[in-house]
Structure 1
Amino acid sequence: MDPAVVLASFLPVLLLELPDKTFVATLVLATRFRPLTAWVGVGLAFAVQSAIAVLAGGLLAQLPDRPVAAVAAVLFAIGAVVLLRGAARARAAEEEALHEYERRVRGGARGLRAVASCFGVVFLAEWGDLSQLFTAGLAARYDDPLSVFAGAWTALLAVSALAAAAGATLLRRLSVAAVSRVGGVVCAVLAVLTALEVAGVDLPV
């Protein structure tokens, strides 16, 4: 496992998901179930989604280098555009996501049933999410599936843990728009670096 690739996967996914639905989903689930139960269910869902994303990226990595790098650059660029454009309306999008998850969740279950409920809600609602596509792009770019999986999943676990433990407090104090802008800049940098690779420019990473 390469610590540099783990970090390179962890940071952008963390910044992608802090202002995204993952945080809101876990917050809502933690109000319906016990916070630890919600976090375990959410974490398991993200483990499966991250594994699928890394597998898809690994399959892409078997193709010729330049087309793979071009696809990764496009995915990173999409992430940058989505985050930067969404920064201005981040709070409104957050409220919409909050209502969406409140409609989906039904409280009352306990133990394994509660874990399964949290798993199902997040797995279905977050399928094909930007972070999953982004993780696939990272796996294709670095051709190190274990490190990418570790970085991406750890980032998702960190975001969901923050939401489960102190979500309401953080929402009052966190500048979602600022986090979106920082995440957008990180995605843009990755897009540029990957595009330079496509152009044949040697890079240290």
Structure 2
Amino acid sequence: MELLTAALVAFVAIVPVELPDKTFVATLVLSTRYRPLPVYLGVLAAFGVQCLIAVLAGTLVSQLPRQPVAFVAAALFAIGAVVLVRGARKGEEISEEQAQDEYAGKITDERPGWRAALTSFLILFTAEWGDLSQLLTAGLVASGRPAVPVFFGSWAGLALVSGLAILLGRWLLKRVKLSLVRYVGATVCLILAIITVIEAVTA
């Protein structure tokens, strides 16, 4: 039950953080230029590597004294909440045209098959490096949650967001108020921060 809970927490934390993020837009742009399947495979591979790096980093940090690490993890979650709230208040909703132009400029030609997958991998790997979702994944492991289910929960959340971008990207950008999604993500991050502090104090 603990393993399932850890995976679910990671999944629920990642989805609202990444839905209004560059992950979504980058995947959408790639899927308009290349065939969806190789794009999705390349994106999934990039997310898998990113989640693995985050989990390994969190595991290393978790070897340090638990209480200070827990407070640092709580601070990461709190920072994530602040970042998301500021983005929502400033009205930093994804401008479809600007975001698509940004990533379209990184695609130089039409590449079929494995080249499309490789291009998708490289673009998403670069875009996600040091991203909020990676920090949250590391923070979940560092705060004492089991690494393997956190990995799969985070990866599943990213896979869902990228899948939605490919299947329903334009529709979602036009109809879903992404500032609201940011507020939901901020709430999740704040809850994680509070829980982590409580766990650290009572440990």
Same fold (TM over 0.5): yes
Q: Structure 2, unaligned stretches of length 5 or more?
A: none
Query: TM (normalized to structure 1)?
Result: 0.93
- Is 1:169 the counterpart of 2:174 in the alignment? no
Structure 1 residues 67 and 96, CA, compared in 2 at 3 Å: closer, same or farther?
A: farther
Aligned to 1:103: 105
Assess if the C-alpha contact under 8 Å between 2:84 and 2:186 holds in 1: yes
**Alignment: residue pair count:** 201
- Mapped to 2, the partners of 1:77 and 1:151 lie a distance apart of 20
Report the Cα offset of residue 36 of structure 1.
1.7
Sequence identity, in percent? 50
Q: Structure 1, unaligned stretches of length 5 or more?
A: none
Per-residue deviation, residues 140-170 of structure 1 (Å, max 9, x unmatched): 1134110000000000000000001110111
Query: TM (normalized to structure 2)?
Result: 0.94
1:1-205 equivalence runs, <5 A: 2-88=3-89, 89-92=91-94, 96-198=98-200, 200-201=201-202
Assess if the C-alpha contact under 8 Å between 1:37 and 1:111 holds in 2: yes
- Mapped to 2, the partners of 1:106 and 1:128 lie a distance apart of 25
Assess if the C-alpha contact under 8 Å between 2:38 and 2:116 holds in 1: yes
Assess if the C-alpha contact under 8 Å between 2:42 and 2:119 holds in 1: yes
Structure 2 counterpart of 1:164, one-letter code? I
Assess if the C-alpha contact under 8 Å between 1:61 and 1:143 holds in 2: no
- Mapped to 1, the partners of 2:75 and 2:8 lie a distance apart of 21
Structure 1 residues 152 and 106, CA, compared in 2 at 3 Å: closer, same or farther?
A: same
- Mapped to 1, the partners of 2:78 and 2:85 lie a distance apart of 11
